[in-house]
Amino acid sequence: QQQVKQSPQSLIVQKGGIPIINCAYENTAFDYFPWYQQFPGKGPALLIAIRPDVSEKKEGRFTISFNKSAKQFSLHIMDSQPGDSATYFCAASIQGGSEKLVFGKGTKLTVNP
């Protein structure tokens, strides 16, 4: 119930492509869904987050799509660049709870020039 399942494990796209990373959850109490970007040897950086009262959120080239009924959410990266090559983690937490983040296993994205 506490798991967040993330796919794919790795993803290779060409520059300008639109990589899509998917996550699914079981616990309907989750109400906050952030995405983090991590470069090797660095801490994760918060990219964008969504709450279940909206179906989509955009920030720059990053878009989250949220499907509450399917308990799924995804990250889309528009016009991807080689500098976007990193590992991306989805996560979920419960408002008013322990605020602990439950992370997916991560997706290693490679954007080729």
Partner 1 sequence: GAVVSQHPSWVICKSGTSVKIECRSLDFQATTMFWYRQFPKQSLMLMATSNEGSKATYEQGVEKDKFLINHASLTLSTLTVTSAHPEDSSFYICSAGRREQYFGPGTRLTVT
Paired strand residues for 67: 72
Q: Among 49, 52, 62, 71, indicate the residue that binds partner 1 (CB under 8 A).
A: 49
Please pick, from the candidates 35, 50, 104, 111, the single residue that binds partner 1 as defined by CB under 8 A: 104
Find the part of the chain contacting partner 1 (CB under 8 A) among 19-27, 30-38, 56-64, 66-74: 30-38
Whichever of 17 and 48 has its CB closer to partner 1, that residue is: 48
Is residue 66 a contact point for partner 1 (CB under 8 A)?
no
What distance in Å separates the CA atoms of residue 87 and residue 40, rounded to the nearest whole number?
A: 8
Helix (H) or strand (E) holding 72: strand 72-77
* Three-state secondary-structure class, residue 2: coil
In the bound state with partner 1, the residue whose beta carbon lies nearer, of 20 and 101, is 101
Q: Is the peptide bond before 113 cis (omega within 30 degrees of 0)?
A: no
Residue located via tokens 């016009």? 79
**Footprint of partner 1 (CB under 8 A):** 32, 34, 36, 41-46, 49, 89, 93, 95, 98-101, 103-106, 108
